[in-house]
Each structure stands twice: as C-alpha cells, then as structure tokens.
Amino acid sequence: MTTRVTTAIEDGIADVRLARPDKMNALDPAMFEGIGAAIDALADRTDVRCVVLSGEGRAFCAGLDMASMAAGGSGTGRARNAQGAILPQHVSWGWRTLPMPVIAAVHGVAFGGGFQIMSGADIRIAAPGTRFAIREVHWGLVPDMAGFPLWRTLVRDDVLRELTYTAREFEAAEAQAFGFITRIVDDPHAAAMALAREIATKSPHAIRGAKRLCNMAHDANPLAMLQAETDEQVKVIGQPNMMEQVAAHREQRAAVFAD
C-alpha cells in the first residue's frame, strides 16, 4: 500500500503531509487510515510542540475519492474511539483533541471531507485563490466528518446553512470573511512553519493548557470556565517551565523547556 501520510519531526514541530498528490489527496480507505494513524502517533508525543498539516501536490484535499466509494471502498471503521468519534470523524476531530496546537496550511482546494479535516486545525492559513466547499450535498450526502461540531465555533449559523445546502464553491477571501480561514498568504506552508516555530518557543505546558481552555470555551458554562482557568494556572504557575520562560526573557536568550 502506498504511504498516504508522511510525518517529519524536527525541532519540536511535526510536519504532517497528505501524500496522495496524483489524486489531489482525495480520501480513500488508505488515506483515512493514514490520517488516523498520524493523529494517534502524535497524541502522546510530549516532545512535539506544534503540528503543521498540509497536502502535497496541487491541493490540500479534494474530498472523498468517489471512485473508491463506488467500488465499495467507503466502509471505513465505524467503531467509536475514546473521544466518541468513528474513523471518518477522527481524521478531522482528532486534530482538535491533540494536546498541541495544529496549524493547517491550505492551497488548491479543500472540498468536502478535506474542508472538514482542515477545520479541525487550531489555525488555518490559506493561499490566495484556494477554493473551498462543503461539498457533500452535491453528492446526495450530508457532512459527517465532525464538521458541525467544529464549524459552530467558526461561522454564523445562517452562513453555514447556506454553504451546506447549496454546496457552492467559495475562495479564500470569502472563507476568511466567514471565519473559516485565519489568514491568507502566498506561501501558507512557510507561514505555518514560521508560526509553529514561534509557538515552539513558549512553555509547552502553558500552550497545552491554553488549548484545553480554548477547546472548552464554546460549550462550558461560565462557572466551569472560571474553575478551569484556575485549574490550568495552578498546573503551571511557579513550575520549572514557567520559571525558565521568565528567566529566558530576563536574560534575552532562548528558553530550554522540559517536556
């Protein structure tokens, strides 16, 4: 089986790439398995400070490989994992549940399942002219790869309904205005790597605590959030990584953190 996903880890940054460029990284069973395995392999990596997710070739991900589906290849795993997701949901939702931030670098197209995978990232950087679509209704399907629990934190309800009901394409500037895209740059992968390197200079325990709070923010009631803020602060205040961060700023040097 051809490798569908590659992961290179250097200097605390995992560079994860969808690697089926001849098919615009379309999702077949092997791609689902590859993405899920990449997420699972990162889940316990305390040495990884940030993840950059991108696609090789002309596109980030063109969505489902419809030929594979027609040939009976859509029967990806239906067992639910510890987060309650089946595999087609895990390949999107799993990025959100990783302990470290994930930055998606998007170009070409992100359609259907590819759009949902992109939406799982904490931050999404796109190239000008990138085309997007919540494409499922075009094929008589509904979005079922964790898009809805991800999109509710990004976009207005009426906008989401319009894009879902029509399956229309839209480009990067409109995607940014809607809230799907964080920013637009000519080289999204280079920008994502630069941002990942910046994040990697911060205390990993503080960053992971901040991500947990961000993940809670939409759904938790205010009292739960107040308690969660306190709990996360207790985990880091006065601890070695916090003291190292302060010392590094004072001494104008790079911080050296413990995992």
Length reported for the chain: 259
Query: pLDDT at residue 164 above 70?
Result: yes
Mean pLDDT of 52-67: 96
CB atoms within 10 A of CB 217: 11
Reading the block at residue 246, the tokens are 């302060």
Reading the block at residue 223, the tokens are 């009292």
Mean pLDDT of 190-214: 98
Among candidates 4, 114, 121, which has minimal Cα distance to 53? 121
For tokens 């997420």, the residue is: 39
Q: Residues with Cβ < 8 Å from 72, sequence gap 6 or more?
A: none
Q: Encode pLDDT of 9-33 as tens digits.
A: 999 999 999 999 999 999 999 999 9
Query: pLDDT at residue 149 above 50?
Result: yes
Q: Is 254 exposed, middle or buried (0-12, 13-18, 19+ CB in 10 A)?
A: exposed
Query: pLDDT at residue 73 above 70?
Result: no
Amino acid sitting at position 158 = D
Query: pLDDT at residue 139 above 60?
Result: yes
pLDDT for residue 67? 82
Q: Is 37 exposed, middle or buried (0-12, 13-18, 19+ CB in 10 A)?
A: middle
pLDDT band of 76, cuts 50, 70, 90: low
Report the mean per-residue pLDDT for the chain.
95
Query: pLDDT at residue 153 above 50?
Result: yes
pLDDT band of 120, cuts 50, 70, 90: very high
Reading the block at residue 60, the tokens are 């980030």
Q: Name the fold adopted by 5-199.
A: 2-enoyl-CoA Hydratase; Chain A, domain 1 (3.90.226)
CB 87 within 8 A of CB 33: yes
Query: pLDDT at residue 145 above 70?
Result: yes
Among candidates 136, 205, 248, which has minimal Cα distance to 256? 248
pLDDT for residue 72? 54
Q: Does domain 204-251 have CATH number 1.10.12?
A: yes
Distance, first Cα to last Cα, the chain: 35
Q: Encode pLDDT of 79-89 as tens digits.
A: 898 888 999 99
Beta-sheet strands, E only, within the chain: 5-10, 13-18, 50-55, 102-106, 109-111, 123-126, 131-133, 170-171, 183-184
Domain ranges (residues) in the chain: 5-199, 204-251
Reading the block at residue 145, the tokens are 């790869």
pLDDT for residue 66? 85
Reading the block at residue 13, the tokens are 């940054």
